[in-house]
Chains A and B, each alone.
Chain A
Amino acid sequence: MSQQLGILVVIDNEAAVVSGTLRDHIYLIDNGHWAGSSGEATGELVTAVEGTQSASQLEQQVLNWVPFGIGSPPVPTPQIAFLQTPDYALLADVPHPVRRPQYFQPRILDSAGVDIRDSLSMRDSGGRVRLAGAEDKTVYYPDPAIINITGEAVDLGVIFPAQYGSPDFFSEGLYWSATVDTNKVGLFSYTMHIRLHYSTRHDGVVTDHAITLPHSAYIKVTRDFAKNGFANTPMILPV
């Protein structure tokens, strides 16, 4: 049974886009605080992974990254919240309605339940047409996407990251996960490449933009002997 370590990647999207950097606008938190991780809720997280002397595949350590943009509803919010009621019947009717995007558009909600794109449309939320020459506006979509994971930890074969799918109404539900070669003891950096989206309205025309920004964090693999649970003394496993 593998040990699962989760790393929450919290991003202030608007601040990062406006500043052109994730520095100071990314906060990394893992569930390894009690196992020795440091830098929780900063950009300089060091995720501690305990090495094991057992070579068994069942003792794999697995890292999962969960990106989250501040300004979004919480990650666990079921996707029903983003579905438009007329689409409920479509889901039951036709398999994989994501193939028909013109009928099936998820709402992009902010944390207060407001559809972010409403503020870009030429109509206000009451359906009334705005005056001609509506003011310029920029809307920052709160959800960041990790596009790639590279760096020392990958090049040296300490982590093997890949994207895996999960059940999702609108997409393949991809997320990044990596196994750790816990025989490679040491401190290793890795870089996340994170894509942020925003749209601008200028002279009545809406344009979509995306930028990809890098950010590096660390994995620390330690060699800890397995402890005898009764005596709390180090126990050397037979090779």
Chain B
Amino acid sequence: MDPENRTEPRTITIVAVVDVVGILASGSFAGSFYLIDNNRLRGSTGEGTDSLVTRVRPGDRIVWIAMTLECEAFASITAVGIEKEGQRQYCDPHSYVYPNTNIVCWVADVAANAGGARIPYNLSFRLGSRTAAMTTTTTPQLDVQD
């Protein structure tokens, strides 16, 4: 079941699904925030929870996107925060827009020297009509293979 391109860098997508109405109503992400990636076969754990651990390799590209549960609800990631300052050399996310739209995603390349690191991060969102961004408080992380 091993992919034929074992050494080729992969693009791994992390989808943050948010229940905008639930978060704004309760003031918290608990029970309204789900993280899913497409690397379960290669070792990610916690799929669908707010504490996803994404297995990656040095050189992989990570893309974070936001999705809502209603097509009229608005959500956008405003920041991917690498919690430990010393780890920002391993992973430095920046925002990008899809061509000719204003839909935002965040992208980071896992540094070649990041092998063995466990990199916790948080996500900040603009949700609905609320002007202040809200930040998650759980501990999803990138788990970098040696």
Contact = CB atoms under 8 A, between A and B. Distances in A.
A and B touch in the complex (CB under 8 A): yes
A14 B2 CA distance: 12
Given A29-B34, A70-B36, A111-B11, A10 B17 contact: yes
Contacts of B71: 6, 66, 75-76
Contact of B101 (A66, A68, A78): A78
Given A18-B1, A74-B67, A114-B11, A41 B37 contact: no
A4 B69 CA distance: 11
A81 B65 CA distance: 15
Interface string A11-37: 011110011000011010111011000
Band of interface residues on A? 35 or more
Interface centre among B31, B67, B96, B98 (most CB of A within 10 A): B98
A117 B45 CA distance: 29
B105 to A, nearest CB: 6
A74 B41 contact: no
A58 B12 CA distance: 44
Contact of A81 (B11, B13, B100): B100
Interface string B5-25: 100000101010101011001
Interface in A64-81: 66, 68, 70-78, 80-81
A135 B47 CA distance: 32
Interface size class of chain B, counting residues whose CB lies under 8 Å from the partner chain: 35 or more
A138 interface: yes
Contacts of A78: 100-101, 103
Contacts of A15: 38, 40-41
A42, A71, A138: which has the most chain B beta carbons within 10 Å?
A71
Most chain-A Cβ atoms within 10 A of its Cβ — which of B11, B25, B96?
Answer: B11
A138 B8 CA distance: 13
A112 interface: yes
Given A31-B22, A33-B22, A78-B103, 7 more contacts: A6-B69, A27-B34, A68-B15, A77-B101, A83-B100, A111-B11, A112-B11
